[in-house]
Chains A and B, each alone.
Chain A
Amino acid sequence: MKIKWALLVSLTSLAAILAGCEPLLVLDPKGPQAARQAGDISLLIVLMAFIVIAVLTILVIVLFKYRASKMPDDYEPPHIEGNIWVEVICIGIPIIIVAFLSFVSVKSNYIVESAPTGYEEEPLVIYASSSDWKWHFSYPEQNIETVNYLYIPTDRPLEFKLYSYGPITSFWIPQLGGQKYAMADMVTTLHLAADEPGEMLGRNANFSGKGFAENRFNVTAMSQKDFDEWVEEVHETADPLTEEEFNRLLEPGHLGQMTFTGTHLDFSPAPEHDHGSDADEHEEHSTHDETNEESDHSGH
């Protein structure tokens, strides 16, 4: 048995060395939401390691003490039904741990589900929509749209509105915070914020077909001043996004980075209403026609 534990220890350390060159993305947060999650994860790793070590220790002791080769031949193990106090402890300790973690979990839930606090400015709203296998980022406030890259200002809350022109995808920037699904018939909201300038990796984390592996985008966080300059530059240099152009972009495939003025929200709004309810039935019909048209295009 000892060989196994020696192996386990050496493997874990080996893995740590191999990975140790750079901190793991998730544990190297660049924003408050990711920091909260990284904190929770670190807490969990420590606590869980403690539990695993406890179980291992008991196992090793029991195996060492009660192995048959050590026992006299005529040793007859006793019949033990169970002891109420032992069981109370076995149930009690896990309950305490779970209760503590539940408390942490609920608290963190409300934090990551709401806009990060401590910022003066209003959140910047960005519509992030996926199509096979690209990401479209619309900045309604700035009236620009990008494909497969995302520029964000630091020190300002970001409110991502997520939806999809195809299969369910998952919008994920590990260093800014955990992911959320983008779906075709509803809009989900993800609150993030970046605390320092720099380049980051973003991707679709949810399997969405053939081009899934390459369904990535680059994220660049920069100061508000740089961001404003970039917006101005876009308005001076980029072409406007037309409906035909956008429909072409939706066709399955991969694209490089692209920049446009105007957003697709004007002619192809996000599916923000409750789909299929009676109240906005009329509005519904018109959207359907559009979606049908789009899928016709993307079908070719």
Chain B
Amino acid sequence: MKIDHTQPLEYSTDQNQLNILGFWIFLGAEIMLFATLFTSYFIFEGRTGSGPTPAEIFEITPVLIETFVLLTSSFTIGLGVHAMRLGRKNAMLTFFGVTLLLGLVFLGVEIYEFMHYYHVGATYQTSGFTAGLLTLLGTHGAHVTLGLFWGLFIILQVKKRGLTPENANKSFIFSLYWHFLDVVWIFIFSFVYLKGMM
């Protein structure tokens, strides 16, 4: 495989460049996916039927924790990629590990949040609003869950095989994915929770 040393490691082979472009296009599709979910949520927001309204079920504390944790994780994975560019494998692994831990905390709080909704009578079947809300949050949460496994696999591979162009490429793409999930969460935070609690 030809390695071009003038490029950053994650861009250094032809296949790596293809992978990164392909992933950007995939993120384009993901934007459409979440745009559709947001559209349907906005449509269902007021259609609560006999179930509770947004203001009745949203709790600020878990949402703030989730937001803080996920935003921080986006920062740490940025540091991780920076460390990777500098070739500092251990620093990179640490930052990736911290990222995943924060992601795990996020997921835990989100599960708590879902249980809370269940207890206050906002289940998946309750109304158009709850179905729209839980599908939007659930799709994001499923992405995070998948990301946790993916990130774990990458850590294991970097640990075992070192900072090869292939691993650098995977790590970089994973960081794109993670940042994307963070951006989606910012929209969820602003347009679902803040809007709903006001």
Contact = CB atoms under 8 A, between A and B. Distances in A.
A and B touch in the complex (CB under 8 A): yes
Contact of B53 (A275, A278, A285, A288): A278
A69 interface: no
Interface of B: 46-50, 53, 127-128
B53 to A, nearest CB: 7
Contact of A285 (B46, B47, B50, B128): B50
B128 A276 contact: yes
A-B pairs, top 5 by smallest CB distance, nearest first, are A276-B47, A277-B46, A285-B50, A276-B49, A278-B46
Contacts of A284: 49-50
B48 A278 contact: yes
Q: Say which size band chain A's interface belongs to.
A: under 10
Nearest to B51: A276
A278 B49 CA distance: 9
A285 B48 CA distance: 11
A275 B50 contact: no
- Which of B50, B53, B127, B128 has most chain A Cβ within 10 Å? B50
A288 B50 contact: yes
Contacts of A281: 48
Contacts of B48: 276, 278, 281
A250 B27 CA distance: 49
A285 to B, nearest CB: 6
Interface string A266-297: 00000000011110010011001000000000
A257 B32 CA distance: 50
Nearest to A281: B48
Nearest to B47: A276
B46 A288 contact: no
A276 to B, nearest CB: 3
18 contacts: A275-B47, A276-B46, A276-B47, A276-B48, A276-B49, A276-B127, A276-B128, A277-B46, A277-B47, A278-B46, A278-B48, A278-B53, A281-B48, A284-B49, A284-B50, A285-B50, A288-B49, A288-B50
Contacts of B50: 284-285, 288
Interface in A168-206: none
B49 to A, nearest CB: 6
Contacts of A285: 50
B54 to A, nearest CB: 10
Contacts of B127: 276
Given A276-B128, A285-B50, 14 more contacts: A275-B47, A276-B46, A276-B47, A276-B48, A276-B49, A276-B127, A277-B47, A278-B46, A278-B48, A278-B53, A281-B48, A284-B49, A284-B50, A288-B50
